[in-house]
């Protein structure tokens, strides 16, 4: 992971992961939504370029993305209403995040297949990162792992969170911010150590 990508990841985390409830099941929904929006957005962008609709391209793209978000929300309301209520306003955060918009408006002139594979690959990498983040918050904050099942939300209790109540902090927004900051500091530390090692190798050569 280079410097640019860690910036993108931190920006995306601040935009959509930090404000979300610290439950793994919420993370699954948001990640699925993000991937769906990335796919829809890439297809629409290709459609705009194919039919030369650049003059109304931005408005069309944003309208379709918002419509896709509303579609996701309606599916959620019909299938798992509890989760739709819990997520509420957060469901619109991935749609306007810099991560999604950056990829939508950032790559021009690529073929559809290349564009889809590039965007979906980046989205997949970020999804894994976001899911690990949500999993940590769920386990540390609530002592549970929440999953999606056919009958709704399944909660597997790992330990009594009341016994380690200090960890509840990680389920909150400040806790998520601290987590992001720690990840960033660790990344800087590792990058610096690697740079020192590489410089030493150059000197030895």
Partner 1 sequence: MIDTFFYFLLYCSAVLIYGIGLNRAAVLSRSMDKTLFFQLIKCTIVVLCSTILTFVIIKELLIPANLIELYPLIALLIFISVSVFVEIIMRITTGLKTSEFAVSYLIILLTLNESLGIIDSIVIAVSCMLSFILILPVLFSLRRRIEIVRPKNDKMKKKSLIMLTMAVIIISLAVWNVSWFNQGVL
Task: Write out the residues near partner 1 by the rule CB under 8 A.
Answer: 3, 6, 10-11, 14-15, 18-20, 59, 62-63, 66-67, 69-70, 73-74, 88-90, 92-93, 96-98, 101, 141-142, 161-162, 165, 168, 171, 173-175, 177-178, 180-182, 184-185, 187-188
| Cβ-based nearer residue to partner 1, 63 or 117 | 63
Residue whose CB is less far from partner 1, 15 or 43: 15
CB of 150 to partner 1, least distance (A): 25
Q: What is the 3-state secondary structure (H, E, C) of 174-203?
A: HHHHHHHHHHHHHHHHHHHHHHHHHHHHHH
**Nearest distance, CB of residue 53 and partner 1, angstroms:** 16
Pick between residue 79 and residue 117 the one whose CB is nearest to partner 1: 79
**55 neighbors 121 (Cβ within 8 angstroms):** no
70 vs 82, which CB is nearer to partner 1? 70
Closest separation in Å from C-beta 117 to partner 1: 27
Least distance to partner 1, CB of residue 114, Å = 27
CB of 129 to partner 1, least distance (A): 16
CA atoms within 13 A on the CB side of 35: 15
What's the DSSP call for residue 165?
A: G
Query: Residue 197 to residues 115, 118, 200, 202: CA-CA distances in angstroms?
Result: 36, 32, 5, 9
What DSSP string describes 45-85? HHHHHHTT-GGGHHHHHHHHHHHHHHHHHHHHHHH-HHHHH
């Amino acid at each position: 992971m280079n410097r640019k990508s860690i910036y993108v990841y931190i920006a995306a985390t601040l935009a959509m992961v930090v404000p979300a409830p610290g439950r793994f099941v919420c993370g699954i929904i948001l990640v699925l939504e993000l991937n769906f929006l990335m796919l829809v957005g890439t297809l629409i962008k290709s459609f705009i370029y194919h039919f030369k609709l650049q003059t109304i391209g931005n408005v069309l793209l944003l309208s379709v993305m918002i419509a896709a978000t509303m579609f996701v929300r309606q599916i959620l309301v019909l299938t798992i209403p509890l989760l739709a209520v819990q997520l509420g306003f957060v469901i619109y955060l991935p749609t306007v995040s810099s991560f999604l918009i950056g990829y939508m408006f950032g790559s021009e002139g690529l073929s559809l297949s290349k564009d889809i594979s590039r965007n979906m690959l980046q989205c997949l990498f970020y999804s894994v990162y976001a899911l690990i983040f949500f999993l940590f918050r769920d386990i540390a904050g609530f002592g549970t792992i929440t999953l999606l099942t056919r009958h709704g939300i399944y909660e597997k209790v790992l330990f009594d969170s009341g016994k380690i109540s200090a960890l509840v902090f990680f389920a909150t927004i400040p806790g998520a911010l601290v987590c992001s900051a720690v990840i960033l500091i660790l990344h800087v530390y590792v990058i610096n150590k690697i740079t020192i090692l590489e410089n030493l190798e150059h000197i030895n050569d």
